Structure 1
Amino acid sequence: MMRLGLQVPNFTWSDDQCQLGDTFATIVQRAERAGLYSLWVMDHFFQLPVFGPVEHEMLEGYSTLTFAAGHTNRIKLGMLVAGVTYRYPGLLVKTATTLDVLSHGRAYFGIGAAWNEEEHQGLGVPFPSIAERFECLEETLQIAHQMWEGSEKPYQGKHYQLARPLNVPSSVQKPHPPILIGGTGERKTLRLVAQYGDAWNVSLRQVSRDELRRKLEVLRDHCQSIGRPYADIEKTTLDTNLRITRDGRDNSLTPAAAIEHFRELANLGIDQAIFNTPNVTDLELFDLLATEIIPVVEQIEATSR
């Protein structure tokens, strides 16, 4: 069954900042009522240029997801994706576990190697080399698995040392919240997905359809090399600024065109299509999702598995 998820990367909706929380609560409630499978926010502290000036509103991700959990009951919640540099791994796993517990088992654990040097420098966060960031990412994934297994034995890594990685309460989801790793690298990222992950996400702004097809085959090869069933990995994509309207005005997609777009992704082997949209505050969007799009998309089976 093909699933749809909504990412909310932009919080600049009104000059009245006091309305921000109310607007976001309305969006997440509409997303759940429409039948969307998941809701995502970015792990950024400055706004990204693709969405607006760097000075525009940006909320801390896990606080935002916890707020969303309090206004919903069923929709899955995750960061797309947490940067490994922003939080010590033991505290990151504890934070993700807390979200899973308070949401009754609705958390994804999205994580990646981080990339935005500007916000690291701006907020005084160390920004190591890309090679070191990937080493930190692998150690964090190892720590996450150990903590969710309930093992309190000391962890001794190159970058992190944990004397007692205690994690109580444990997650509601067993054996742990799905671990989603984001990125496009075929040698490092996709190997980590095969070895440690439950899901992979790639932005469609970064890859063509042919490149996506090739990367899925690379992921399959990594799975085969370690004896991991390829079908165990949830394959997800992110569409940026995907606008859907009833009549396709202003170069947007009609419901039929949106369904065809999602069908093409499913035919490539994608299980969940996540998107963000500039018209996220429009009720029309959620009406179309609920009545015309999601009921059809949920009948589509991913192929090429």
Structure 2
Amino acid sequence: MKFGIHNPSWLFGSEPAEIFDAVAAKARWAEDHGFAWFSVMDHLIQIANVGAPDEPFLEGWTVLSALAAVTRRIRLATLVSSVHYRNPAHLAKIAAGVDLISRGRLTFGIGAGWFETEYRQYGWEFPPRPAVRIRQMEEAVRLILAMWSEKRTTFQGKYFQAQDAILEPKPIQKPHPPVMIGGGGEQLTLRAVARLADACNVGGTPDIVRHKYDVLRRHCDAVGRNYDDIERTNVISFVVARDEAQLAAKRKRLAVPDNYYGVAGTVAEITDLVGKYQDAGVQLLISSAFKNDSETLELLAADVMPRFGVNSA
């Protein structure tokens, strides 16, 4: 099993001008402590279950391009980009540039979009039917893959078009950067993964994740895709402490709500939980830390990951 870090917010106890320095230090620490992945959210305001809507929030692809220049080994991604926030042909160009700057370390994360409040604030049209948004995402991925591989791309879809478009330089990774589709919708999203993606990302308990992977396997069988060619990932937020007393103190200090959307536990409890995710089929466990709690990540690296064969030194 591999491990990654997802950055859930830009609150690091620093002034706005210092935010990037803090996240860059976090990404460099991650690659020096055994983590294989570092991702950021592609939102323009904070989502409701993570923090306050008016907290400082950096644009994901801007940060990703800067991280590509100041890291060396770790894989970089947005988790995930909404299909509607940028013209897909333009997004293909942005992503190709990040792959080049990172020397081939981009995973291209994309999803159908869901955060209607953000759409309203920034003037994007929000298609209310999930099926429409998922079809738009699939069409966008097909256009992006064409832009990454064809000398000139002409694409006439129902939602997106390109006319004799040039994208140079192409991404470094061949045949293209891996495409990750985020979401666990069983009828449409996981079918889109089977058709188009190199990786999936789902959330939920180990039992839910195992079920989602079983659904994905059935979709792969239906379209003639090798299920094992798709990297299986899961994202989860943690609050970790060494023992119950320290966990209670941390919950109080961080004001962790009773309805916390992630998992709060001791090192032993989290180690047991990670084992269950591994048994469910997770190949890359992407962890975020509530309120960017650095001790949580340090305990994951020092005490949990070595149990799964990852050297954190």
TM-score (norm 1): 0.90
Quick one: distance in 2 between partners of 1:287 and 1:219?
33
Could you tell me which amino acid in structure 1 is paired with residue 306 of structure 2? Answer: P
1:233 to 209, 230, 234: 230
Cα distance change on mapping 1:72 and 1:281 into 2, 3 Å: farther
2:243 aligned partner: 247
Contact kept in structure 2, 1:244 and 1:285, CA below 8 Å: yes
Matches within 5 A, 1:166-245: 166-204=166-204, 208-240=205-237, 242-245=238-241
2:86 aligned partner: 87
2:269 aligned partner: 257
2:164 aligned partner: 164
Matched, 1:297 2:296: no
Other structure's SS at 2:166 match: coil
Contact kept in structure 1, 2:7 and 2:39, CA below 8 Å: yes
Structure 2 residues without counterparts, runs of 5 or longer: 249-263
Quick one: distance in 2 between partners of 1:187 and 1:287?
38
Other structure's SS at 1:244 match: strand
Quick one: distance in 2 between partners of 1:185 and 1:57?
31
1:278 aligned partner: 290
Other structure's SS at 1:243 match: strand
TM-score (norm 2): 0.88
Cα distance change on mapping 1:290 and 1:131 into 2, 3 Å: closer
CA drift of 1:215 comes to: 1.7
Other structure's SS at 2:143 match: helix
Overall identity of the aligned pairs, in %: 35
Cα distance change on mapping 1:287 and 1:46 into 2, 3 Å: closer
RMSD, aligned α-carbons = 1.8
Quick one: distance in 1 between partners of 2:291 and 2:131?
38
Could you tell me which amino acid in structure 2 is paired with residue 231 of structure 1? Answer: D
CA drift of 1:211 comes to: 2.9
Say which structure is richer in strand: 2
CA deviation vs aligned residue, 1:109-156 (integer Å, no higher than 9, x gap):
000000111111111112123333222111111112212222524111
CA drift of 1:11 comes to: 0.9
More deviation, 158-167/144-153: 144-153
Contact kept in structure 1, 2:109 and 2:180, CA below 8 Å: yes
Contact kept in structure 2, 1:195 and 1:223, CA below 8 Å: yes
CA drift of 1:70 comes to: 2.1
Structure 1 stretches (4+) deviating beyond 6 angstroms? Answer: none
Could you tell me which amino acid in structure 1 is paired with residue 201 of structure 2? Answer: N
Contact kept in structure 2, 1:27 and 1:280, CA below 8 Å: no
Could you tell me which amino acid in structure 1 is paired with residue 85 of structure 2? Answer: Y
Contact kept in structure 1, 2:148 and 2:176, CA below 8 Å: yes
Other structure's SS at 1:276 match: strand
Contact kept in structure 1, 2:35 and 2:74, CA below 8 Å: yes
Quick one: distance in 2 between partners of 1:124 and 1:257?
44
Could you tell me which amino acid in structure 2 is paired with residue 276 of structure 1? Answer: S
More deviation, 131-140/243-252: 243-252
